[in-house]
């Protein structure tokens, strides 16, 4: 069997990437989930080192300048997010099944440096469903939602750049489809 390759999960805002990743974290310990760095403050219930590595803008910029980020991006014009490179390299070397849940800009950077990775796009069942989910989760102001929907339009148009598209019609089903795809490689 060939060594596991990196899988990158991207998709528009509010499609449920984080929820699919959380399902996998809970039910599939064999999958190694990258913990991103971010400059945004933690939301209630989020733990440093588990959901994100929360850090200041200075700390983040320092890691970028030292080449310690595999990819990074400013998401929704608000905060920086990035994938620490070292743990991904270690997971790959250890033969683990590594998964990155990142935005489209980050996925493109990974494609440039690791074209052999598997790129998966998580799509909403429909546009209306996506708008409904964004409004329903109530974590953004109306202004932030409008920005996110603009980003989502651009992101949806990028589906064809991906190796696979998984429709998030049901979190559990979508998560299981992703894990079996990772296992089959
Ligand atoms: P949130 O702030 O809601 O947790 O995440 C906002 C967005 O940041 C999501 O679209 C998520 O995929 C993206 N994101 C999370 N971690 C990373 C990362 O390490 N790199 C990039 N490029 N995007 C990320």
CATH number of the domain encompassing residue 29: 3.40.50.300
pLDDT bucket at 147, cuts 50 / 70 / 90 = confident
With b for 16 or more beta-carbon neighbours within 10 A and e for fewer, the 142-163 pattern comes to eeebeebbebbeebbebeeebe
Say if residues 57 and 89 touch (Cβ distance below 8 Å).
Answer: no
Which has the closest alpha carbon to 11: 156, 171, 161, 170?
Answer: 156
Atom of ligand 1 nearest to the CA of 13: 10
pTM of this prediction? 0.92
Å from CA of 19 to ligand 1 middle? 12
Atom of ligand 1 nearest to the CA of 106: 22
pLDDT exceeding 90 applies to what percent of the chain? 78
pLDDT one-digit tens code per residue, 75-128 = 878 899 999 999 999 999 999 999 999 999 999 999 999 999 999 999 999 999
pLDDT bucket at 2, cuts 50 / 70 / 90 = low
Q: How many domains does the chain have?
A: 1
Q: Which of 15, 43, 71, 81 to mutate to test the pocket of ligand 1 (most atoms within 8 A of CB)?
A: 81
* Structural domain of 64: 7-184
Q: Is residue 2 part of a domain?
A: no
Q: Is residue 90 part of a domain?
A: yes
Q: Is residue 76 part of a domain?
A: yes
Average pLDDT across the chain, whole number: 93
Residue 148 has pLDDT above 90, yes or no: no
Structure tokens at 177: 């489809």
Q: Which of 25, 73, 103, 106 to mutate to test the pocket of ligand 1 (most atoms within 8 A of CB)?
A: 103
Q: Is residue 1 part of a domain?
A: no
Identify the DSSP state of 140: S
Q: Is residue 88 part of a domain?
A: yes
Q: Is residue 96 part of a domain?
A: yes
């Amino acid at each position: 069997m060939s060594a596991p390759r990196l899988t990158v999960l991207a998709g528009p805002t509010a499609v449920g990437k984080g929820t699919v990743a959380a399902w996998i974290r809970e039910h599939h310990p064999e999958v190694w989930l990258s913990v991103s760095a971010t400059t945004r403050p933690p939301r209630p219930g989020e733990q440093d080192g588990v959901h994100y590595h929360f850090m200041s803008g200075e700390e983040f910029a320092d890691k970028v300048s030292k080449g310690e980020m595999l990819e990074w991006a400013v998401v929704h014009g608000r905060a920086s997010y990035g994938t620490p490179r070292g743990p991904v390299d270690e997971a790959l070397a250890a033969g683990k099944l590594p998964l990155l849940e990142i935005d489209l800009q980050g996925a493109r950077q990974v494609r440039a440096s690791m074209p052999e990775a598997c790129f998966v796009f998580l799509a909403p069942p429909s546009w209306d469903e996506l708008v409904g989910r964004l409004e329903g989760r109530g974590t953004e102001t109306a202004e932030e939602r409008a920005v996110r929907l603009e980003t989502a339009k651009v992101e949806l148009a990028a589906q064809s750049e991906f190796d696979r598209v998984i429709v998030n019609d049901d979190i559990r089903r979508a998560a299981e489809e992703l894990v079996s795809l990772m296992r089959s490689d």
